[in-house]
Amino acid sequence: MPSFPTQNIDQFYMTIYGGYGYDGCDVGGFGIPGWCQCNAFLGLASGVPIGTNPPYTVNDFLGIYPKFFGAPALISATLTSGSPIITVDSTATGLSVGQLVTCQGLNDGTVIKSVTMPEITVSSNATASRATTIAVYEAQLVPLAVMQLYLNIAIVSIMQSRWREQWELGMALYIAHYLTLYCQTEGNQQSTANQIVANSLQAGITISQGADGVSQGLQAIKAVDNWASWSLSQYGVQLASLARVVGSGPAYFRR
> Within a 10 A sphere around the Cβ of 182, how many other Cβ atoms?
20
- Measured distance CA(146)–CA(58) in Å, rounded: 11
C-beta contacts of 22-31 below 8 A and 24+ residues apart? 22/50, 23/254
pLDDT at 23: 44
Query: Tell me, what's the pLDDT at 148?
Result: 95
Q: Which amino acid is at 29?
A: G
Q: Where do the domains of the chain lie?
A: 9-44, 72-137, 144-246
**Contact call for residues 231 and 221 (beta carbons, < 8 A):** yes
Amino acid at site 100: L
Of 78, 76, 84, nearest in space to 126 by CA? 84
Cα–Cα distance, 178 to 129 (Å, whole number)? 38
Taking every pair of Cα atoms in the chain, the longest distance, rounded to a whole number of angstroms, is 80
Measured between alpha carbons, how far is 188 from 168 in angstroms, rounded to an integer? 27
pTM score, two decimals? 0.71
Q: What pLDDT sits at residue 249?
A: 54
Q: What is the mean pLDDT of each run of 10 residues along the chain (255 residues)?
A: 53 50 46 48 54 91 95 97 97 95 96 97 97 96 93 94 92 96 70 65 59 64 63 90 75 50
DSSP string, 30-78: ---TTHHHHHHHHHHTS--B-S-PPP--HHHHHHH-GGGT-PPEEEEEE
- Would you tell me how many other CB atoms lie within 10 Å of the CB of residue 46? 20
Where helices occur in the chain by DSSP H, the ranges are 9-17, 35-44, 58-64, 144-155, 160-163, 167-186, 191-200, 234-246
Residue among 16, 18, 17, 21 at smallest CA distance from 48:
21
Distances in Å between the Cα of 209 and the Cα atoms of 214, 217, 222 are 8, 6, 19
Residue 172, Cβ density class (10 Å: 0-12 exposed, 13-18 middle, ≥19 buried): buried
At 195, give phi and psi (nearest 5°).
Answer: -65, -40
The pLDDT value recorded for residue 49 is 63
Rounded Cα gap, residues 36 and 30, in angstroms: 9
